[in-house]
Chains A and B, each alone.
Chain A
Amino acid sequence: MSKILVVADHKDGEVRKPTLELLSHTRGAGLSTDALLIGQNVKGLADTLAGHGAGTVYVADDASLQYFSADTYAAAVADAAAKAQATQIWISVSETGKALGPTVAGRMDAAFVGDAQGLEIEGDNVTVLRPAMATKVMQKVRFAKAGVKVITVRSGAFDVQPADAKPANVVALPAPNSNGRVVVKSLEQEESGEIDLGDANIVVSVGRGVKGPDGVELVRPLAKRLGAGFGASRAVVDSGWMPYNAQVGQTGRVVTPDVYFAIGVSGAIQHLAGMSGSKLIVAVNKDPDAPIFSVADYGIVGDLFKVVPLLIEEVGKVKK
């Protein structure tokens, strides 16, 4: 019997969309699925997971789990997977998921595939479609041996379906032994904007072309008016003009919004790998040969210091 365990991603007391996508998909396909919540004060989210189709919700809720650590979180996943007799473990892609997935696989002696963008599932026969080589190729990957499969899945692979009102069947897990090898002292939160990049329907990103913090502030109101997430290239983040978690690309966040605005971004492959899945791409760059134009649906060749104020004004007219 195949059984999927979905490890829930949550923030500020809410289940995040990537998890709802995974549950919506397994429910729609009639795949037997449990879910796992790990963190502090997370019990309350169990009903949401049940409403989206989780049969049993395993909960590891403890002060020691406030911050992510691969060691302790993987122990909780292994515990839940054993109790659920899971044959597949699905984890959404994030800086947490990317470290957690292979750690879980290593501990459970399971197989691992990361960054699934599409899944073909027939029972426990799973084929994964995933990008590789800086998104210059796609790979079809299959599992060669029997055994538990750990898969990290990118957001946007599936749609979220509405929830039923269903109380969760909760199984509480003991807090994993923290052996004190990795101690997270604090979390420096540096929100780049009010809207999480991963949840945003529109993302506005700035590149080195904005030339400094003043340029960043010139563009920020555009993101605000559009109700957009506010991102950046690595050049901007490395210069300290925007926080690390604003970085879009291979080392930063992979985003797939409806509209992506690239302002003064050249379009290096490592940046493209983080945004080329956007539905519509708008680029502003003064260099007509900038690689970003090769993926842009609408491009403006011009000085962003002139274009952006005009865009803000125009957007203000259509968006109150």
Chain B
Amino acid sequence: MNILVPVKSVIDVELNIRVRDGRVVEDGMNYVLNKWDENAVEAALVLKESQGGEVTVVTVGPDRSGEALRKTLAMGADKAVHVNDPATEGSDAHGFAKILAKVAARGAYDLIITGKQAQDTDMGGTGPLLAAMLDLPLVAGVIAIEPQGAGKLGIRRLGQFGTEVIELALPALITASDSLNEPRLASLRGIMQAKKKPMEVLKVADLGLSAGDVGSAGARIQVVEYLPPPARSAGKKFEGDEAETTAQVMNLLTNEAKIFA
């Protein structure tokens, strides 16, 4: 089974994020492999281990995104494609999907796995847009995968009304939930081997796209401003004997917040 895993290098959202003059302060920010993409890579590696085939990872982004690719190679992916072109700067999900569709078309993939969303935008658009552009069936938010032979996968998806038990015909695109698996850590050996694995670097022109198709020029949506989130400050905290503190909070709930009124 040949699998393509698009990944993204994102701002580390575990850090304190500041907004100034309508922009995110990128100074001193760290970039990491998107968490949900780790789940996607792990799922691809598990499938490869049982079904054979190859795992290709791809990213679109500047030099620093190469690090995210190297991490996935160290986890066990076989080869990487890095679309590294200033023209892609400012791409929206549409632009990313357009580029990824061209990359996907260069190989014969049975399955594409993306993370369910990227931690920077939290939009969850790229995977489904890519599936639609390639006319592939989509299952988003996958929590379990079971190969069934004959070009089919048994899939469980966390749906709106419960767990959907799905039979999916390949080729297809799925997006990984963090409940799907526990991503492996790269071993020292994996890190050493990663250095020798093929990494192809491409410009958008190599994919038959022009600069106007991608990046801010091609973007259909634009972030015009960043704002701090609505302020939420710590309120009243009670420590000590539980009987007392509970009574104090019950009193506030009843008389200040009036939740029982």
Bound-state CA distance A143–B122 (Å) is 17
| A106-B128, A294-B234 as given contacts; A134 in contact with B247, CB under 8 Å | no
Assess whether B166 is in contact with A68, with CB atoms less than 8 Å apart.
no
Find chain B residues with CB under 8 A from A143 CB: 220-222
Bound-state CA distance A270–B237 (Å) is 23
Assess whether A188 is in contact with B166, with CB atoms less than 8 Å apart.
no
Assess whether B167 is in contact with A185, with CB atoms less than 8 Å apart.
yes
Interface residues of A in 254-278 (CB under 8 A from B): 258-259, 269, 273, 276-277
Q: A121 at the A/B interface (Cβ < 8 Å)?
A: no
Assess whether A311 is in contact with B250, with CB atoms less than 8 Å apart.
yes
| A95-B158, A105-B129, A111-B221 as given contacts; A187 in contact with B163, CB under 8 Å | yes
Interface residues on A, range: 35 or more
Q: B205 at the A/B interface (Cβ < 8 Å)?
A: no
Q: B185 at the A/B interface (Cβ < 8 Å)?
A: no
Assess whether B122 is in contact with A95, with CB atoms less than 8 Å apart.
no
Q: B105 at the A/B interface (Cβ < 8 Å)?
A: no
Assess whether B242 is in contact with A306, with CB atoms less than 8 Å apart.
yes
Q: B21 at the A/B interface (Cβ < 8 Å)?
A: no
Find chain B residues with CB under 8 A from A281 CB: 235
Q: A250 at the A/B interface (Cβ < 8 Å)?
A: yes
Bound-state CA distance A143–B213 (Å) is 16
| A105-B129, A187-B164, A269-B13 as given contacts; A131 in contact with B259, CB under 8 Å | no
Q: B111 at the A/B interface (Cβ < 8 Å)?
A: no
- The minimal Cβ–Cβ distance linking A292 to chain B, given in whole angstroms, is 10
Q: B46 at the A/B interface (Cβ < 8 Å)?
A: no
Q: Is the interface of B mostly helix, strand, loop or mixed?
A: mixed
Closest to B260 in A: A318
Assess whether B138 is in contact with A303, with CB atoms less than 8 Å apart.
no
Tell which of B13, B177, B222, B236 touches A298, judged by Cβ atoms closer than 8 Å. B236
Find chain B residues with CB under 8 A from A95 CB: 140-141, 157-160
| A142-B224, A185-B165, A251-B116 as given contacts; A112 in contact with B93, CB under 8 Å | yes
| A113-B123, A251-B177 as given contacts; A105 in contact with B249, CB under 8 Å | no
Q: A80 at the A/B interface (Cβ < 8 Å)?
A: no
Interface residues of B in 213-244 (CB under 8 A from A): 219-230, 232, 234-240, 242-243
Q: B132 at the A/B interface (Cβ < 8 Å)?
A: yes
Q: A177 at the A/B interface (Cβ < 8 Å)?
A: no
Find chain B residues with CB under 8 A from A214 CB: none
Q: B81 at the A/B interface (Cβ < 8 Å)?
A: no
Q: Beta-carbon contacts of A57-91 to B below 8 Å, as 1s and 0s?
A: 00000000001101100100000000000000000
Tell which of A112, A182, A234 touches B221, judged by Cβ atoms closer than 8 Å. A112
| A99-B141, A182-B168, A318-B260 as given contacts; A134 in contact with B220, CB under 8 Å | no
Tell which of B121, B223, B245, B259 touches A301, judged by Cβ atoms closer than 8 Å. B245
B225, B232, B257 — most chain A CB neighbours (10 Å):
B232
Assess whether B121 is in contact with A185, with CB atoms less than 8 Å apart.
no
Assess whether A138 is in contact with B236, with CB atoms less than 8 Å apart.
no
Q: A288 at the A/B interface (Cβ < 8 Å)?
A: yes
Q: Is the interface of A mostly helix, strand, loop or mixed?
A: mixed
Find chain A residues with CB under 8 A from B158 CB: 95, 244-245, 251
Interface residues of A in 101-139 (CB under 8 A from B): 101-103, 105-107, 111-115, 127, 129, 131-139
Assess whether B138 is in contact with A71, with CB atoms less than 8 Å apart.
yes
Bound-state CA distance A241–B234 (Å) is 30
Q: A221 at the A/B interface (Cβ < 8 Å)?
A: no
Closest to B251 in A: A314
Assess whether A140 is in contact with B168, with CB atoms less than 8 Å apart.
no
Q: Beta-carbon contacts of A163-178 to B below 8 Å, as 1s and 0s?
A: 0000000000000000
Q: A157 at the A/B interface (Cβ < 8 Å)?
A: no
Interface residues of B in 157-190 (CB under 8 A from A): 157-169, 172, 177-179
Find chain B residues with CB under 8 A from A50 CB: none
Bound-state CA distance A267–B158 (Å) is 23
A-B pairs with beta carbons under 8 Å apart, 19 shown: A74-B132, A99-B128, A101-B128, A102-B132, A112-B123, A132-B123, A133-B11, A139-B223, A140-B227, A185-B167, A187-B162, A237-B179, A245-B158, A245-B163, A277-B230, A297-B257, A298-B237, A301-B240, A307-B242
Q: What 8 pairs between A and B have smallest CB-CB spacing?
A: A106-B132, A102-B128, A111-B220, A181-B137, A297-B235, A99-B140, A299-B237, A189-B162
- B-side interface residues toward A, CB under 8 Å? 11, 13-14, 17, 19, 24, 93-94, 97, 116, 119-133, 137-141, 143, 157-169, 172, 177-179, 219-230, 232, 234-240, 242-243, 245-247, 249-250, 252-254, 257, 259-260
**Further contacts, 17 of them, CB under 8 A, given A102-B124, A137-B17:** A103-B129, A106-B131, A112-B123, A113-B123, A114-B123, A129-B227, A133-B11, A136-B13, A138-B227, A147-B220, A182-B166, A234-B178, A277-B230, A295-B232, A299-B238, A302-B246, A318-B260
